Structure 1
Amino acid sequence: MKLPNLDTVAGGPFFLMAGSCAIESRDLAFEIAEKINKMTKDMGIPYIFKGSYRKANRTKIDSFTGIGDIPALEILKEVGAHFNLPTVTDIHESAEAAMAAEYVDVLQIPAFLCRQTDLLAAAAQTGKAVNIKKGQFMSGNSMKFAVEKVMHENPDATVYLTDRGNSFGYGDLVVDYRNIPEMAAFNVPVIMDCTHSLQRPNQTTGVTGGQPALIETIAKAAIATGAHGIFIETHPNPAIAKSDGANMLPLDQLEGLLEKLMKVRKAVL
């Protein structure tokens, strides 16, 4: 089990971070991991299993937030061990870093929290890899300082930067592909979050919307403009997903998308 880095992805295939938005159950996590692990192995795509052990940023008070921190983290650890896969999950406060690091290989900093110095420092101090999502209010160039905060605490840290679009008006996001080469200039792998970048936040219903039909468009453009990795949330049936179903990719569509992205990657290398 080895995490992708610039050396391993520079001249080869992109890597994939994918899974359901939240850990809903052990059975679902294993179903998703098994199917994606098989297709990525067949294609030679490095794969990191993703699942949030808790959803801290929800619009409504009664929104699903998780099945419990430790039960969800234990599922993540079990998935990683069973399939020999690295795993990634979000953390939201400094105190969560050490706890989550006992179970996963990559700690993810949510976009809204990418400027939180104490959170970045706590993640770096665990010795785990850190995936920092670019804030919807940030430029690619400004993410240099987030990388510096992590490297200050751990000069040997593996750091990823993930774009997920920029705020546009009150209920939409727009992807600016200038951010990919700008963030790649910091000598870290750059990932495109192809599902969250298509969110329609701040809906009057209190439930975030999305445009999943454009996932392929966002992903192809990201690979074409130099992204090293792709982040996709997927579910066997997004309509019944407990979190972010409106912008997820149906699991049975993932393999076909990856095949197309491999062709784009080969063309631009």
Structure 2
Amino acid sequence: MFKGQSYDEKNFFLVAGPCVIESEELLLEVATKVSAICKDLGIPYIFKSSYRKANRTSASSFTGLGDDMGLGLLKKTGQAFSLPTTTDIHAHDEAAHAAEYADVLQIPAFLCRQTDLLVAAGETGKVINVKKGQFLSGPSMKFAVEKIRNTGNNKVILTERGTTFGYQDLVVDYRNIPWMKEHGVPVVMDCTHSLQQPNQTSGVTGGNPAMIGTIAKAALAAGADGLFIETHPNPAVALSDGANMLQLDQLESLLRQLVKLRKAL
């Protein structure tokens, strides 16, 4: 997956980028900054941005620039920086099309039990990253893994992204990291979506980005193989999930701390 990148094999890997593809300029700005940091620190890097956001709170929320344009910009960014890329898919008929542009297909947490979606994703032969549902335990994710493996595709990643806690908050149960590693797959901690504060009456999901570093450090201590961090130059004007994204100029200092922690572990 990380062919062509120079990195420390003992390091965690990073999945990072803006939540949604807003413009080519945004993708290039983030990829330029993050790829340079990761190269310097020896961190394997997957560039992430969603070409379509289907699971929005409000019908008026931004959903994307259009499928072909978004996917084309994603592929162009990956090629420009020699990076693997990932994006969400939301339905079985999106899988084959998205696989023509992305190296890793991501299954959103709300859809992690959708059999036809998991099977279609697995049949592409791509790496499949399944986010654990906010309503599921780590051990129960074995069934998602089995559905993909039954297609003959063993390239599966699982991502912890918090568990529903009441109506407007999430909590991270770090037991899920070693539990999901028992399924024989790499496990990633989503350090930004696990800090969402969903179901706000404003129709815009809230967040607590000040805790991103805490979530990331605890995840590495619990044995996470990778970290997922959405980042944006100015989260206040982001078109999706601005409330829980990390400001881009804060990423380098955090990653330097995390590399030191990983080496200590």
Judge conservation of contact 2:2–2:45 (CA < 8 Å) in 1.
no
Tell me the distance in 2 between the aligned counterparts of 1:185 and 1:169.
Answer: 28
Per the alignment, residue 135 of structure 1 pairs with 133
The residue number in structure 1 matching 2:204 is: 207
Distance 2:169 2:81 in 1: 37
Q: Give the 5 Å matches for 1:99-248.
A: 99-155=97-153, 157-248=154-245
Secondary structure of 2:68's match?
Answer: helix
Report SS of the residue matched to 1:153: coil
Once the two structures are superposed, residues 6-27 of structure 1 have per-residue CA deviations (whole angstroms, 9 ceiling, x without a partner) of: xx98x60000000000000001
Aligned residue in 2 for 1:52:
50
Secondary structure in 2 aligned to 1:231?
strand
Residues paired across the two proteins, number: 263
Q: What is the CA–CA distance in structure 1 between the aligned matches of 2:261 and 2:164, rounded to whole Å?
A: 27
4+ aligned runs moved over 3 Å, structure 1: none
User: C-alpha displacement at 1:102, in angstroms?
Assistant: 0.4
Instruction: Work out the CA distance in 2 between the residues paired with 1:54 and 1:104.
Output: 13
Deviation (angstroms), 1:2: 2.5
Counterpart of 2:179 in structure 1: which amino acid?
A: E
Shift of 1:182: 0.2
CA distance in 2, matches of 1:135, 1:63: 22
TM-score normalised by L of structure 1: 0.96
Q: Distance in 1 between matches of 2:221 and 2:257?
A: 12
Which whole-Å CA distance do the structure 2 matches of 1:45 and 1:187 have between them? 22
RMSD over aligned Cα atoms: 1.4
Provide the identity percentage.
Answer: 66
Q: 1:37-69 CA deviation, whole Å, 9 max, x = no partner?
A: 000001000000000000000111100001111
Secondary structure of 2:150's partner? helix
Q: Which amino acid aligns with 1:31?
A: E
Q: Which amino acid aligns with 1:224?
A: A
- Give the counterpart letter for 1:209 in structure 2: G
1:2 maps to which residue?
A: 2
Separation (CA, whole Å) in 2 of partners of 1:67 and 1:124: 26
CA–CA distance in 2 between the matches of 1:189 and 1:2?
14
In the alignment, the residues of structure 1 paired with residue 261 and residue 161 of structure 2 have an alpha-carbon distance, to the nearest angstrom, of 20
Unmatched segments (≥5 aa) in structure 1: none
Cα displacement string for residues 213-262 of structure 1 (whole angstroms, at most 9, x for unaligned residues): 00000000000110000000000000000000000000000000001111
Instruction: Give me the whole-angstrom Cα distance separating, in 2, the residues matched to 1:168 and 1:109.
Output: 22
> Residues of 2 paired with 1:266 and 1:25: CA distance?
36
Shift in Å at residue 154 of structure 1?
A: 1.9
State the SS of the aligned residue for 2:74: helix
Q: How far apart in 2 are the matches of 1:29 and 1:142?
A: 35
Consecutive unaligned residues of structure 2, counting only runs of 5 or more, are none
CA shift, 1:128, in A, is: 0.5
In the alignment, which residue of structure 1 is the partner of 2:87?
89
Distance in 1 separating the partners of 2:75 and 2:81: 10
Q: Is the 8 A contact 2:14 2:44 kept in 1?
A: yes
Partner residue of 1:21?
A: 19
Task: Tell me the CA shift for residue 158 of structure 1.
Answer: 1.2
What is the TM-score with the length of structure 2 in the denominator? 0.97
Q: How far off is 1:267 after superposition?
A: 1.3
What is the distance in 1 between the residues matched to 2:53 and 2:201?
20
**What's the CA shift for 1:263?**
1.1
